Amino acid sequence: MKNLDSVFAAYIVGWGVFFVFYLTIAKRTSNLRAELDRLKSSLPRAK
């Protein structure tokens, strides 16, 4: 099984990049949703 470590590394690192990218999108979306809800709730009070 020559080069199995390289093949394994390529797939793990590659999928790792996509996974981390997806996590950053999910995290940013969740934070922004919370901020948006806070902002929406502050609007009627401001009026």
Partner 1 sequence: MTKRIILGAVAILLVIVAAYASFFIAPQERTMGLIQRIFYFHAATAWAGEMTFFVCFLANLLYVWKRQPKYDWLGVSSAEVGLACITVVLITGPIWAHPVWGIWWTWDARLTSTFVLWLLYVSYLLLRTLIEEPERRALLSALFGIFAFLDVPLVFFSIRWWRTQHPQPVIMGGSGSGLDPTMSKVFFFSVLAMHVLAAFLIVERYVLEKMKSEFDFLAREVEAQ
Q: Which residues bind partner 1 (CB under 8 A)?
A: 1-4, 6-7, 9-11, 13-15, 17-18, 21-22, 25-26, 28-29, 32-33, 35-36, 39-40, 42-43, 46-47
Q: Give the C-alpha separation, 11 to 17, whole Å.
A: 10
What is the smallest separation between the CB atom of 10 and partner 1, expressed in angstroms?
4
Report the distance separating Cα 10 and Cα 2, nearest Å: 14
**1 three-state secondary structure:** coil
Residue type, 29: T
